[in-house]
Amino acid sequence: MNPYDLLIAPFTEFEFMRRALAGVFALALGAGPLGAFLMLRRMSLTGDAMAHAILPGAAIGFLFAGLNLYAMTAGGLVAGLVVAIGAGVVARATGMKEDASLAAFYLISLALGVLIVSLKGSNVDLLHVLFGTVLGIDDATLILIASITTLTLVTLAFIWRPLVLECVDPTFLASVSRTGGISHIAFLSLVVMNLVGGFHALGTLLSVGLMMLPAATARFFVRDLTALVMLATFIAFVAGAIGLLVSYHLGTPSGPSIILVAGLAYAGAVIFGPIGGLASRVMPRRHLEA
């Protein structure tokens, strides 16, 4: 098979592949920056918890309207925000740590969502909700994902400075400005919205993968925040494109294929990454080399 048939022909010959590629590109633009900030703020597992938290809301939307884009989106947004706020309130009102509170909320949410979908839908519907259908993206879903991404990039432009300061020195930010709390809430809202957008393509169990794996991979290659965001976004898009090609040629599910490609990239970075990778730690460095 020549390179054209292997890499380009699937996208030029089939509209559903072009839609899927456009959807992956839009998801990568929003997920890359958010994943980088989640990692730097030590909130990686928070992203995973939020991805599971949207399931009961999406399931309730499915219960009333079936696989309706807007009903499931609205339900997922409400559920994600309720869990984010509820976990924070419990952590502050009791002696429980916020990570434990989030873990409890997301486990309950996951079980409740699966139960609701199972009550009305078939196994096919359940797989659709859990793992998404990136090859089945239609115009409405593509517009929704693109709108969420646009809102994400615009909002990040406004809250970029307090987000960076909070990553570096949250105590200093709190002493000189009151924007920390507002930016934190806005950031969590963006995470929820992007997970809801990713849910329609990759499902609740995999949507966070496109957010966290590329960011974790990029961290082994760059230290600068701007470079980290750009590289994470690029890796997310490349993993999506290659995952779609793997799915097309091998007949594997598209969502898991995308995340597994991103996982392979992460594994390669762990071994060969120049910043903290295993190979860089084993190989001797020259005197005074950083």
Give the integer Cα–Cα distance in Å for 147 and 215: 22
Least reliable range by pLDDT among 193-207, 212-226, 234-248: 193-207
Q: Which of 54-63, 82-91, 263-272 has the highest mean pLDDT?
A: 263-272
The DSSP code sequence of 3-34 is HIIIIIHHHHH-HHHHHHHHHHHHHHHHHHHH
Place 26 in a pLDDT band, splitting at 50, 70 and 90: very high
Flag whether pLDDT at 74 surpasses 80.
yes
Give the integer Cα–Cα distance in Å for 274 and 266: 13
Query: Is residue 164 classed as helix, strand or coil in its secondary structure?
Result: helix
CA 234 to chain centroid, in Å, comes to 14
- Report CA dihedral (208, 211, 214, 219) to the nearest 10 degrees: -110
The predicted structure's pLDDT at residue 220: 94
Place 234 in a pLDDT band, splitting at 50, 70 and 90: very high
Higher pLDDT, residue 236 or 109: 236
Give the integer Cα–Cα distance in Å for 140 and 40: 33
Flag whether pLDDT at 176 surpasses 90.
no
Q: Which of 15-19, 139-143, 232-236, 272-276 has the highest mean pLDDT?
A: 232-236
Flag whether pLDDT at 287 surpasses 60.
no
Any idea where the domains of the chain sit in the sequence?
3-273
Least reliable range by pLDDT among 15-29, 108-122, 167-181, 232-246: 167-181
What is the rounded average pLDDT of the residues 162-181?
A: 71
The predicted structure's pLDDT at residue 230: 94
The predicted structure's pLDDT at residue 171: 67
What is the rounded average pLDDT of the residues 243-259?
A: 90
The predicted structure's pLDDT at residue 288: 54
Report in angstroms the alpha-carbon separations of 219 from 18, 42, 44, 211, 265.
30, 13, 13, 13, 12
The CATH class, in words, for 3-273 is mainly alpha
Flag whether pLDDT at 169 surpasses 70.
no
Flag whether pLDDT at 185 surpasses 70.
yes
> What is the model's pTM?
0.86
SS3 annotation, 31-80:
HHHHHHHHHHCCCHHHHHHHHHHCHHHHHHHHHHHCCCHHHHHHHHHHHH
Place 57 in a pLDDT band, splitting at 50, 70 and 90: confident
What is the rounded average pLDDT of the residues 247-251?
A: 90
